[in-house]
Structure 1
Amino acid sequence: MTSIDPGRLSLIELFQEEARGQAQILSDGLIALERSPRDPVTLEASMRAAHSLKGAARVVGVPVGVTLAHVMEDCFVAAQEGRVVLDAGYIDMLLRGVDLILQIGQARNIDAQTVLEREVDAFVDGLNARLAGTGAAFEVAKIAPQDDAFALSQELMLAKPPVEEPEPAAPEPAPAPAPSRTNDARMLRVRADTLDRLLSHSGESLVESRWLKPFSQSMLRVKRIQHDASRALERLNETLGETQAAQLDTRAHAALDEVRRLTAEAHRQLSERLADLENFDRRSTYLAQQIYDEALACRMRPFVDATGGFARMVRDVARALGKDVRLVIAGETTQVDRDILDLLDAPLGHLLRNAIDHGIEASALRRALGKPEVGTITLEARHSAGSLFISVSDDGAGVDIDALRRAVVRKHLASGETAARLTEAELLEFLFLPGFSMRDAVTDVSGRGVGLDAVQDVVRQVRGSARVTQEAHAGTRFTLQLPLTLSVIRSLIVEVAGEPYGLPLAHVARTLVLPASAIDMLEGQQHFSFDGRRVGLVTAHQILQTAPFEAAGDALNVVVIGQGAGSYGVVVDRFLGERMLVVQPLDKRLGKVRNIAAGALMENGDPLLIADLDDWLRSVEKLVSSGELGPVGAGASRVSVASPKRVLVVDDSLTVRELERKLLASRGYDVSVAIDGMDGWNAVRGADFDLVITDIDMPRLDGIELVTLIKRDAQLSGLPVMIVSYKDRAEDRQRGLDAGADYYLAKGSFQDQALIDAVRDLIGEAKS
């Protein structure tokens, strides 16, 4: 077998591009034929795709491609003529042929090409073996590459399916038709970064065009001033009266008349110029908006571009699991930002595999439940309320909430009592945690607990959100809410320390004006009531490390960010309104700027920074864990109480935490709190403490595991740890001490002084 001529590599690349398109047609057609094996339209489309590939392979001189496409074409012709029925076995083999098509051209040396040729020969032999009993078997000889001109002339003819009559001699090549000058569908290749720059420049032009609006408004004010001057002159004439006017000399009369004339002329000229300015403003803004919309449209692609291989993947995974599943795709024409579309392949693949493995039941069970034997998974994309919504839903069994609750307890993510109190919505959120899986054994499809975690990571990258809902025996739905484009963000503009910042609205839960009287102290931190729960309060000044916050009055401007228990209220200086911001990426040489996602320009041309609100939340959590969260109020500034002895209290009970905090704080200790073992572990790694007091039974990470982690850490091993627990059995005490705890105190028996004495024994008085 000869190697491919390097001079033909560009043709090979063109062939590969065509092969990808035709392979997608074949893949979609074969999956459709599995449901309707005699559908004439699908058979014709599949046969034509194979025929086109055969011609393209012959032109570029890839005989293995000619052989492969030829045998597939003949198989489709046999199906058209009723000699074979394309059942699941045939579909499996022909899909294997599609995979081989995609490998053609990638083999750039003799050995690789030889391997590919052997695989193609095995494919042909296997297909013939299946056809042997039907009378439709055929022999395929290797087709050597023909002269390019002859091959091209052959392919310019639309060859018909084989018939019994001998094939006519090939006609002379027909001249290619001249390209149409009015072909609106002409395509050009443009680099992605060129489109990005075009969008950036068009966004700037849109901002610049809007600069005329305030200028026009200022001119209107000038016009009103000029009009007021004319009226004042008229009142002057009335005041002078005829008697006083008669006393004016000729020169004064002439000057007064000249003032009247010039004022009237200025009024006329200003009115005309102002009308011209308004027309120019309207036209330029419209044109800039059109240019921007067209540039933005260049970044958009139909959702179907991201779904090409999903039908094949669903079929293969379902067959591997012994299930019968069909995929329905809705909203194929929904326009999606190119960058978002490129990121969707892996997350949607995870969700689809998850639906097949965890959602859809086996056919026998579905039949027993009165469901159709074939399970249905629906992949849908739609625009709504300025966002892109993509959902993956199935008609399967839904999530077994009881099994999910047991898995949460088994993985020590919550105690049995805590898990029993969790609502269905709260339990479903555990599915997105890293490493979480309801499978006990790892398979090729699931069990490693990385699928939904990966989905969550990608969604967060594009400033979106993910949620899951389910109904027992009716199915599960995963919904991704994503921005329409990464180039434009609808943002809330706020002022912090005299600078504007854009907060993406997708991450803003609420804005409110909070009276100072609504702020309470809880566990040493300031909170306020929001939607029936307590939400912590922090200033944007402290997050961004700007000048200290000074409250202008008794009311605070608060932005609520985050979700559920992870919500915080962020105090800003002023609300400046909502804007559509054209995202300007920061210079890559800056790296990741803490708390900042990108830049943008306001309508007046002033620059601003777009906040990374996920970073803001992480910054707040770090401030909380390190005990450096400053107070909010008049004259408040970033302060942290410095105490010689710092104590971390770790307990999932609010009552116990607050009791221990107040007791120790009253003795002069600087006390920080953590709500569970994982929170405590993060705290001790992020700040220095003199003592850790921990409970045992806690979600995510219990006290024994926390003690073990601390004592195994080279930098933390010397940190004293006291266990305070309701468990008072000898074996419980021994378990805690074996883990490395320095002191064990039972909650049910200790008095206030007992706790203080134990702390003093371990670290001494609050102040040295």
Structure 2
Amino acid sequence: MTPDQMRDASLLELYRMEADAQAQVLDAGLLVLEREPNHAAQLEACMRAAHSLKGAARIVGLDDGVKVAHAMEDLLVAAQEGLLRLLPEQIDGLLQGTDLLRRVGAQSIADAPSAERIEQLVALLEHQLAIAVPALGRGIAAEPVLQQPAAPAAVAVQEPVDDLLEDGRGRVLRVSAERLDHLLDMSGKALVEFQRIQPLTDSLQRLKRQQSAVRRTLDGVRELTQNNSLEPQAQALLEESRAQLAECQQLLHTHFEAFDEFAWEGGLRSRSLYDAALSSRMRPLADVLVGRARMVRDMGRSLGKQVRLDIEGDATQVDRDVLERLDAPLTHLLRNALDHGIEPPELRLRKGKPEEGRLLLRARHRAGMLLLELSDDGAGIDVERLREVVVARKFASAETAARLSEDELLAFLFLPGFSLREQVTEVSGRGVGLDAVQHELRQLRGSVRLEHRRGEGSTFILQVPLTLSVVRSLVVDIAGEAYAFPLAHIEHMVRVSAEDVVQLEGRQHFWHGDRHVSLIAASQLLQRPEGRTEEAGIPLVLIRERDNLYGIAVERFIGERTLVVMPLDARLGKVRDVSAGALLDDGTPVLILDVEDLFSSIAKLLGSGQLERVDRRSQGVQEATRKRVLVVDDSLTVRELERKLLLSRGYDVAVAVDGMDGWNALRDEHFDLLITDIDMPRMDGIELVTLLRRDSRLRTLPVMVVSYKDREEDRRRGLDAGADYYLAKASFHDEALLDAVQVLIGEAQG
């Protein structure tokens, strides 16, 4: 808050702010005191926090808050003075008191704790003090029973207070997220626009070299003419040209130095502006971890386990949008580790492990990404048990499951609806498991993988961008246009020669390591025109969906780029297979691919069985240069007439005897034009054109209908089906057909 906002805020609002801040101090300190009851610094910090809240509650007139804070303070002071040693049961009471102090200032009555619950907690804390230190108690009464205790598995995680007056670096002002987003967007665009100055710099450098070359040429001409008689006028013109060129060179040199300095300083400032705008959205990872140690402790106790959470790198800076979306996955993984990983204390002791389990969350930056490692020292994954569950739940047959490797079995844990729990509990067994974690991370353009050590624990490794405003990508050429694959989703980049591509069960594959990888043409996947691959081999981008690996064939690798994400206009809705746009350094627009969408498109394409070949260079030179026409007609005379006419003009022609024959030919081979009759057996021309227009690969193929039917309704029926040209056989003549073909696809030689 600004000073004015602090002045205008109500006392109750100020209490809520202080309660949130002091409750965080209490939560953190009490968790330390549970492990080290005599930790003097934490005892002092917790006592002061309780004392501050008691004073704040008294000023605001919250008598219930005063009672709770006073009872907590008495217990903590006794511990400070060495009169008692804090036990887990007393820590439970103090933590519940912290929760109630947060809620006594709630805006709605429904959120505020009842007077009965306040009295029960105060009585519990006084009873614990009286048992431990009878001289301080008011007499030992029967131990009160708290009703409806706070559910440990659903501990409220409070947002950190944003609007502090000072943060150690000066004033902190409230700025809306929309304004920050707009500032970041404008600074990102400014950075990209300024980067377009580099091609101009390169052009000026070439101009300098060309002028130097011209100067050397003129000097050579001057030397050649010195010993030869040259008219005075020509000699004067030559000298004048040399002088003017020298002046131009000097002027260009001066301007180029100034321009080069401007480009360097401007680039530095635009980058600094963007970095400053980006940093304004960055928050420490600790913001999303507030209350997580408390949640782990309370949930562990509810499961009869002793667990602590240690965090390394919680000061790592991450975009706030990323932090918010990491909340749910991290919570789920922590719950998963508590329920499935950490063993009960007695079992840990039998295994020679410490009675208390440990979760370790490490965070660090790596290659422009946020890397999170969540490890536990529990039992790890029982692979054989997992194999049995896979068979029992009919995810695979017993024979198939027996052949699965360990990595393949672990992939089942990320399937929707999969759970190792046979019964539903408050924590597990609902089938909403690691698939939800994986889905959320993929939405963040990130990834998750699992490593385990049998009997020693498991580690989940999460990798997400530091910000959603920029994305490190591999930019590729598809059908002459730039597209970007986020690097987080790319398994490998490889080049494969056409000779290494094999046909297997109707699909193209190649060997990668020890497995077959399916090949899919990016142009077909994105419904773009066919392209030509480079002579050095077929460039492939390998992407993985769980245990499935796909090779996406592109035309060219442009290179790795850091792109400023530009959201698509909301009026476009969700564009299939595309998540956002961006601009390259030279201003070329590029579409950032939505890899989650791509997997759905791949599944549909594989299910259709209509995959294009990706090794286009294996076709003959004649096919690559001559345009191909398919003629479909059940009349032998008409077929031959049209075939000969087209051949005479240099077109490559294939024929089909009816619509079904034509449809099979269209799916198996490449054509530039379809010429079809309407009335044919098995499948007529209207059905053929309709099928073609519904096919993602063939829908753009030009179609000409040649029919004896010449009525207006017949023409309209053919054109409505998707034909581009309608020619009646009654008015048919050689030039009419050839002229129409040329209009539709041009000359025979492409």
TM norm structure 1: 0.73
Q: Does structure 1 conserve the Cα–Cα contact (< 8 Å) formed by 2:22 and 2:49?
A: yes
2:426 corresponds to 1:444: yes
**Contact persistence 2:408–2:547 (CA under 8 A):** no
CA displacement at 1:41 relative to structure 2: 0.4
Q: Could you list the per-position Cα deviations for residues 700-733 of structure 1 after superposition, in whole angstroms to 9, with x for gaps in the alignment?
A: xxxxxxxxxxxxxxxxxxxxxxxxxxxxxxxxxx
1:483 corresponds to which of 459, 465, 476: 465
Checking the alignment, whether the CA contact within 8 Å between 1:509 and 1:563 is kept in structure 2 is: no
CA distance in 2, matches of 1:546, 1:669: 22
Compared CA separation, residues 515 and 25, structure 1 to 2 (3 A): same
* CA distance in structure 2 between the aligned counterparts of 1:183 and 1:344, rounded to whole angstroms: 27
| 1:538–1:570 CA contact under 8 A, matched in 2 | yes
* Structure-2 separation of matches of 1:345 and 1:615: 24
1:650-661 alignment runs, 5 A limit: none
The question of whether the paired residues in 1 share the 8 Å contact of 2:72 and 2:125 is answered with no
2:614 is the counterpart of 1:632: yes
Structure 1: distance between partners of 2:80 and 2:567: 55
Structure 2 vs 1, CA of residues 569 and 195 (structure 1 numbering), >3 Å: closer, same or farther? same
Matched AA of 2:184: L
Q: Is the 8 A contact 1:83 1:136 kept in 2?
A: no
Q: Which position in structure 2 is the counterpart of 1:217?
A: 202
Shift of residue 270, structure 1, vs aligned partner: 0.9
**Cα distance, 1:45 vs. partner?**
0.6
Taking a change above 3 Å as real, the CA distance of residues 368 and 76 of structure 1, as seen in their structure-2 partners, is: same
Check the 8 A contact 2:414/2:546 in 1, yes or no: no
Give, in angstroms, the shift of residue 253 of structure 1. 4.7
Question: Deviation string for 1:641-669 (max 9, x for gaps)?
Answer: 9xxxxxxxxxxxxxxxxxxxxxxxxxx99
Alignment of 1:661-680 (within 5 A): none
What is the letter of the counterpart of residue 281 of structure 2? R
Cα distance 1:576–1:557, how it changes in 2: closer, same or farther (>3 A)? Answer: same
Q: 1:40 to 1:554 in 2, by over 3 A?
A: closer
User: The residue matched to 1:383 in structure 2 has which SS?
Assistant: strand
Deviations 1:652-689 (A, max 9, x none): xxxxxxxxxxxxxxxx999x9xxxxxxxxxxxxxxx9x
Find the aligned partners of 1:216 and 1:594 in 2 and give their Cα distance: 38
Report the alpha carbon displacement of residue 595 of structure 1 after superposing the two structures with TM. Answer: 0.2
Q: 1:537 to 1:315 in 2, by over 3 A?
A: same
470 and 544 in structure 1: CA distance in 2 versus 1, 3 angstrom threshold: same
Give the deviation of 1:107 after TM superposition.
4.2
Confirm or deny: 8 A CA contact 2:490 2:542 kept in the other structure: yes
1:80 corresponds to 2:62: no
CA distance in 2, matches of 1:348, 1:138: 45
Q: What residue in structure 1 maps to residue 566 of structure 2?
A: 584
Report deviation, 1:332.
Answer: 1.4
| Corresponding residue of 1:123 | 121
Alignment RMSD (CA, Å): 2.8
- Counterpart of 2:173, as a letter, is L
Q: CA deviation at 1:184?
A: 2.8
Corresponding residue of 1:166: none
The alignment status of 1:235 with 2:235, answered yes or no, reads no
Q: Distance in 2 between matches of 1:118 and 1:511?
A: 65
In the superposition, the TM-score normalised over structure 2's length comes to: 0.75
Counterpart contact for 2:57–2:63, Cα < 8 Å:
yes
Counterparts in 2 of 1:288 and 1:362: CA distance versus 1, 3 Å? same
Asked if 2 retains the 8 angstrom alpha-carbon contact of 1:331 and 1:380, the reply is yes
2:414 paired with 1:414: no
Q: Distance in 1 between matches of 2:595 and 2:388?
A: 33
Per-residue deviation at 1:461?
1.3
Structure 2 match to 1:195 = 180
1:493 deviation in Å? 0.9
Deviation at 1:273, TM superposition (A): 0.9
The aligned length equals 593
Partner in structure 1 of residue 143 of structure 2: none
**Once the two structures are superposed, what CA deviation does each residue of 1:126-149 show, in whole Å capped at 9, x if it has no partner?**
21122233222369xxxxxxxxxx
Report the Cα offset of residue 384 of structure 1: 2.5
In structure 2, the CA distance between the partners of 1:55 and 1:606, relative to structure 1 (3 Å rule), is farther
Distance of 2:546 and 2:374 partners within structure 1: 24
- Report the CA distance shift for 1:132/1:309 in structure 2 as closer, same or farther (over 3 A): same
Tell me by how many angstroms 1:581 deviates: 0.5
1:346 partner SS: helix
Provide the C-alpha distance between the structure 1 equivalents of 2:472 and 2:326, rounded to a whole number of angstroms. 22
- Within 5 A, what are the aligned runs for 1:335-354? 335-354=317-336
Check the 8 A contact 1:560/1:567 in 2, yes or no.
yes
Q: What secondary structure is seen at the aligned counterpart in 2 of 1:99?
A: helix
Q: Look up the SS of the partner of 1:562 in the other structure.
A: strand
614-623 vs 8-17, greater mean Cα deviation: 8-17
Which amino acid letter does the alignment assign opposite residue 459 of structure 1? Answer: L
Structure 2 partner of 1:433: 415
**Matched letter for residue 402 of structure 2:** A
Q: Quick one: distance in 1 between partners of 2:474 and 2:102? A: 48
1:92 aligned partner: 92
Whether the aligned pair in 2 keeps the contact of 1:516 and 1:554 (CA below 8 Å) is no
Deviates more, 1:428-437 or 1:511-520: 511-520
Q: Secondary structure at the match of 1:567?
A: strand
* Aligned CA distance change for structure 1 residues 21 and 183 (closer, same or farther; 3 Å): closer
User: How many Å separate the matches in 2 of 1:57 and 1:522?
Assistant: 75
Once the two structures are TM-superposed, the CA of residue 252 in structure 1 deviates from its matched residue by 4.7
Q: Name the CA distance, whole Å, in 2 between partners of 1:123 and 1:594.
A: 56
CA displacement at 1:122 relative to structure 2: 2.3
Task: Name the SS for the 2:530 alignment partner.
Answer: coil
Structure 2 partner of 1:15: 15
Residue 183 of structure 1, CA deviation = 6.8
> In 2 relative to 1, CA 361–554 (structure 1 residues): closer, same or farther, beyond 3 Å?
closer
Asked if 1 retains the 8 angstrom alpha-carbon contact of 2:444 and 2:465, the reply is yes
Displacement after TM superposition at 1:242 (Å): 4.1
Question: What's 1:732 paired with?
Answer: none
Evaluate the alpha carbon distance shift between residue 9 and residue 564 of structure 1 in structure 2; reply closer, same or farther with a 3 A threshold: closer
Q: Equivalent residue of 2:541, what SS?
A: strand
Q: Secondary structure at the match of 1:445?
A: coil
Residue correspondence of structure 1 range 500-539 to structure 2 within 5 A: 500-539=482-521
Deviation at 1:513, TM superposition (A): 2.8
Aligned runs of 1:297-696 on 2, under 5 Å? 297-550=279-532, 555-563=537-545, 565-634=547-616
Structure 2 unaligned spans of 5+: 1-6, 140-164, 631-662, 668-690, 692-750
Q: Distance in 2 between matches of 1:455 and 1:239?
A: 79
Residues 222, 238 of structure 2: 8 Å contact kept: no
Partner Cα distance (2:185, 2:111) in 1: 45
Q: Distance in 2 between matches of 1:59 and 1:302?
A: 33
Cα displacement string for residues 517-563 of structure 1 (whole angstroms, at most 9, x for unaligned residues): 22221111222222222222221111111223455658422222225
Q: Is 1:429–1:467's contact at 8 Å kept on the other side of the alignment?
A: no
Q: Report the secondary structure of 2:136's partner residue.
A: coil
* Residues in 2 aligned to 1:509 and 1:422: alpha-carbon distance in whole angstroms: 21
Partner residue, 2:694: none
How far residue 19 of structure 1 moved from its aligned partner, in angstroms, is 1.6
Q: Is the 8 A contact 1:390 1:480 kept in 2?
A: yes
Secondary structure at 2:353 match in 1: coil
For 1:116 and 1:514, how far apart are their aligned partners in 2? 70
CA 1:328 to 1:243, structure 2 compared with 1: closer, same or farther past 3 Å?
A: closer
Taking a change above 3 Å as real, the CA distance of residues 11 and 609 of structure 1, as seen in their structure-2 partners, is: farther
SS of the residue 1:450 aligns to: coil
8 A Cα contact 2:71 2:126, kept in partner = no
Give the whole-Å Cα distance in 2 for the aligned partners of 1:112 and 1:445: 24
* Alpha-carbon distance between aligned partners in 2 of 1:288 and 1:9, rounded to the nearest angstrom: 39
Once residues 40 and 348 of structure 2 are traced to their aligned partners in structure 1, the CA distance between those partners, rounded to angstroms, is 31
Is the contact between residue 534 and residue 556 of structure 2 (CA under 8 Å) also seen in structure 1?
A: no
Give the residue type in structure 1 aligned to 2:293. A
In the alignment, the residues of structure 1 paired with residue 331 and residue 549 of structure 2 have an alpha-carbon distance, to the nearest angstrom, of 31
Report the counterpart of residue 104 of structure 1 in structure 2.
104
* 2:172 equivalent to 1:184: no
Helix, strand or coil: the match of 1:478? strand
Q: Which amino acid in the other structure matches residue 425 of structure 2?
A: T
